[in-house]
């Protein structure tokens, strides 16, 4: 049995995976200003977001992402901001590159590490048209990111998992 089948069997089902292009966008990150993207403070960031009325999410609008920085090991949050936003926060803003992503739907009760591995293995072994974009991962330090979505199940949160891909 191949590794993909093992993971799918463990998780109990096959997943629908879609491809979507995210636009480039200006984001406010949880990296502290002047930290050279080495220090992320998500607790202080969420507090600042809440206090400054940035907390309202439009699910599926691609305005709030989380990821694990591959270089620093930090957990990082991103919130889309307008190009005219004057950043007086203690947090760094930058232009998120955007790009092409394979996206899988997951729920909070699932093993997110296993889900990420499943998506990676699926792309590597089952997709004819796309491959993982390792140059994007190296350039942006984002191998996999998530976006909280509106769930059809009141008691179970939903998360979209994004992995950068390129066409073969």
Residues 39 and 91 in one domain: yes
Residues 29 and 88 in one domain: yes
Q: What is the pLDDT of residues 20-53, one digit of tens each?
A: 999 999 999 999 998 777 789 999 999 999 999 8
Residues 41 and 71 in one domain: yes
75: containing domain: 25-96
Mean pLDDT, range 108-128, rounded to an integer: 81
Residues 88 and 120 in one domain: no
- Residue 167 in this model has a pLDDT that exceeds 60: yes
Residues 72 and 131 in one domain: no
- Residue 4 in this model has a pLDDT that exceeds 50: no
- Residue 3 in this model has a pLDDT that exceeds 50: no
Closest C-alpha to 68, from 42, 105, 35, 98: 42
Q: What's the total number of domains in the chain?
A: 2
- Residue 114 in this model has a pLDDT that exceeds 90: no
More confident residue, 152 or 167: 167
Residues 29 and 61 in one domain: yes
| 116-139 burial code (b ≥16 CB/10 A, e <16) | bbbbbbbbeeeeeebebbeebeee
- Residue 81 in this model has a pLDDT that exceeds 80: yes
Residues 116 and 92 in one domain: no
Provide the token pair at 116. 């990420």
DSSP assignment of 69-132? ETTT--EEEEEE--TT----SSEEEEEE--EEEEEEEEETTS-HHHHHHHHHHHHHHH-SSEEE
pLDDT at 1: 39
Residues 86 and 124 in one domain: no
Residues 5 and 56 in one domain: no
- Residue 87 in this model has a pLDDT that exceeds 60: yes
Q: What is the pLDDT of residues 131-159, one digit of tens each?
A: 999 999 999 999 999 998 877 776 777 78
- Work out the pLDDT band at 8, boundaries 50, 70, 90: very low
Residues 38 and 64 in one domain: yes
Residues 66 and 108 in one domain: no
Residues 74 and 121 in one domain: no
The reply to whether the predicted model has a pTM over 0.85 is no
More confident residue, 73 or 101: 101
């Amino acid at each position: 049995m191949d590794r993909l089948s093992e993971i799918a069997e463990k998780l109990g089902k096959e997943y629908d995976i879609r491809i979507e292009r995210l636009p480039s966008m200006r984001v406010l990150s949880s990296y502290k200003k002047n930290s050279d993207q080495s220090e992320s403070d998500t607790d202080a960031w969420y507090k600042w977001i809440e206090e400054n009325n940035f907390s309202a999410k439009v699910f599926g609008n691609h305005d709030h992402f989380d990821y694990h920085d591959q270089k620093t090991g930090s957990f990082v949050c991103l919130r889309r901001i307008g190009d005219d936003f004057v950043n007086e926060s203690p947090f760094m803003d930058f232009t998120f590159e955007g790009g092409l992503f394979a996206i899988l739907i997951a729920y909070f009760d699932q093993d997110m590490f296993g889900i990420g591995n499943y998506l990676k293995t699926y792309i590597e072994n089952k997709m004819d048209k796309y491959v993982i974009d390792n140059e994007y991962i190296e350039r942006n330090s984002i191998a996999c990111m998530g976006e909280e979505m509106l769930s059809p199940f009141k008691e179970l949160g939903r998360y979209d998992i994004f992995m950068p891909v390129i066409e073969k």
